[in-house]
Structure 1
Amino acid sequence: MISGLDHVAVAVRDFDAVADGYRRLLGVEPELEPGDGAVRAWFRFPNMALEVIGPDGEGAAGDRVRAQLEASGDGVWIVAFAVEDVDAAARLAERRGLSVAVRTPRAALIDVAGVRVSLIADGNARSGAAGAVAALDHVVIRTPDIDRAVANYGGRLGLDLRLDRANEAWGARQLFFRCGDAVVEFGASLKHPPSDGPDSFGGLAWRVTDPDAAHAAMAAAGFDVSQVRTGRKPGTKVFTVRDAPAGVPTLMLSAEPAKEPA
């Protein structure tokens, strides 16, 4: 049903400030798209797009953004998956027990345990170029019930579960669903029993071609970045952007394992 990750939407009040912040952070010039009561900035990458969206006048899209901001404030709002046939995918999701809240010819919006998921007609134009930030590596979703996440995203939405990992030292269990050339990661605490509380978005992790150079560039652009450190995956480097736009928890990590000097 799902062929890949189409985009991640971030809802914001101060559109100009956040769009400029992502322009400086990611090193990508956005494409602006006003319409239906909202204004959008599209940052396109080889494997997905980042959509920054804010209210801008009257219209259904603007009303939905305002409602989201009123309920939850700025932050990640929607994860959108590409499908070949929106209507068929929406009907299949309903047969599998999911409720479709909004349906248009190009998209279906679904609430999945508190997280907004969109099924969208594949065709969102992406960039073939990769700069300092090469692509999105993964989007993180927090869940109080990891088995429910398996049922919803593996069973009902049909994502490819590649890894189910528990680590007592971290006090966490993680799921990794492959989605095209990106990953949807779920994290659950092992310190608390499962509950029927809602899932929620965590943050975004971006691949960088040269972590040291990206770190220097982002620091020079005025961002508060942590020191570059060794990643959990052997041979990788990572660093955190502490003040990323819209307050989205943001990690930068090596696109490939770092090579040791000869």
Structure 2
Amino acid sequence: MITGLDHVAVAVRDFDAAVDGYRRLFAREPDLEPGQGARRAWFRFPNAALEVIAADGEGVAGDRVRARLDEAGEGIWVLSFTVGDVAAATRLLERRGLDVEAVAGVALVKAAGLSFTLREARDAPPSSATGEGPVDALDHVVVYTANPDRALALFGAKLDLDLRLDRANSQWGARQLFFRCGGAVVEVGASLKTPVSDDPDRFGGLAWQVTDPDAARARMAAEGFDVSEVRTGRKPGTRVFTVRDAPGGVPTLMLQPTQQAGVA
């Protein structure tokens, strides 16, 4: 049913500041799109896009953004998946017990406290690089769950994502579920130190791929970002660094892709 990850939507209050921040962070130029009471900037990558969205006047989209910001503040708002047929996918998910709403050719899905959309794939080239060492692609999206069995049912049984790895690590105090989604991964984390509950899930952060982490870190530091030192990643063969002040308050990791990066 789901063929890939279309985009991640990040809701922000100050559109110009957030877009300028991501432009400098990614070293890529976005496409700008106003409409329905909202302003959007699309940073497109080979395997997914980042949508920065803010309210701008009257309209359905603006009302939704304002409601989101009032309820939860800035940050990751929606994961949007691609499907071959939105109507067929909607009927299937409704039969599987999910709350689905059809809006302008897109299916809105709410489950376990998270928001998703389903839409047909779009053909758009990656955003143009504006400097050396741009961010290359999205590696993974992090979701935190209070109930890993519920997450397995949602992402695996209902959304049909491909579970590639389910591991528990007592040293980290976490259980991790890795779902392949086209060219990216949805990583679901659960604490081993707290009891399972019915509390809602929440979006965590984003991990992006860079070819040369040392050069990328130096460029981002020169742009004024608060970045950690480059360190060895948890995945064998990876090198990573953290951006502590990414726009929209999104926890952000940069990593060097290897054959072990992501989940094969």
Aligning the two structures, in what range does the TM-score lie when normalised by the shorter sequence? over 0.9
**C-alpha distance in structure 2 between counterparts of 1:67 and 1:29, whole Å:** 28
Change over 3 Å in CA distance of 1:257–1:212 after alignment to 2: farther
Please name the residue that 1:59 is paired with. 59
**C-alpha distance in structure 1 between counterparts of 2:219 and 2:243, whole Å:** 12
Q: Does the alignment pair 1:238 with 2:243?
A: no
User: What is the TM-score with the length of structure 2 in the denominator?
Assistant: 0.95
Q: Find the partner of 1:208 among 210, 216, 233.
A: 210
Matches within 5 A, 1:12-161: 12-100=12-100, 102-123=101-122, 125-127=124-126, 132-161=134-163
**C-alpha distance in structure 1 between counterparts of 2:182 and 2:85, whole Å:** 17
Q: CA deviation at 1:129?
A: 7.0
Contact between 2:31 and 2:127, CA under 8 Å: does it hold in 1? no
Per mean C-alpha deviation after superposition, the further-off stretch among 115-124 and 186-195 is: 115-124
Please name the residue that 1:7 is paired with. 7
User: What is the TM-score with the length of structure 1 in the denominator?
Assistant: 0.95
**C-alpha distance in structure 1 between counterparts of 2:18 and 2:80, whole Å:** 20
Q: CA deviation at 1:124?
A: 5.2
Contact between 1:177 and 1:184, CA under 8 Å: does it hold in 2? yes
Q: CA deviation at 1:106?
A: 2.3
Contact between 2:43 and 2:127, CA under 8 Å: does it hold in 1? no
Contact between 1:45 and 1:129, CA under 8 Å: does it hold in 2? no
Q: Find the partner of 1:248 among 243, 247, 250.
A: 250
Please name the residue that 2:223 is paired with. 221
Q: How many pairs were matched up?
A: 257
**C-alpha distance in structure 2 between counterparts of 1:129 and 1:15, whole Å:** 20
Q: CA deviation at 1:202?
A: 0.2
Question: In angstroms, what is the RMSD of aligned CA positions?
Answer: 1.4
**C-alpha distance in structure 1 between counterparts of 2:145 and 2:2, whole Å:** 21
SS in 2 for 1:127: coil
Moved runs in structure 1, 4+ residues, more than 4 A? 128-131
SS in 2 for 1:191: coil
SS in 1 for 2:258: coil
Q: Find the partner of 2:184 among 182, 185, 196.
A: 182
**C-alpha distance in structure 2 between counterparts of 1:150 and 1:241, whole Å:** 29
SS in 1 for 2:117: strand
Please name the residue that 1:197 is paired with. 199
Letter aligned with residue 74 of structure 1: E
Contact between 1:132 and 1:210, CA under 8 Å: does it hold in 2? no
Contact between 2:29 and 2:127, CA under 8 Å: does it hold in 1? no
Structure 2 unaligned residues grouped into runs of 5+: none
Contact between 1:46 and 1:128, CA under 8 Å: does it hold in 2? no
**C-alpha distance in structure 2 between counterparts of 1:186 and 1:197, whole Å:** 15
Q: CA deviation at 1:257?
A: 6.1
Letter aligned with residue 122 of structure 1: A
Contact between 1:49 and 1:126, CA under 8 Å: does it hold in 2? no
Letter aligned with residue 137 of structure 2: A
Q: CA deviation at 1:122?
A: 1.2
Change over 3 Å in CA distance of 1:126–1:96 after alignment to 2: farther
**C-alpha distance in structure 2 between counterparts of 1:124 and 1:98, whole Å:** 28
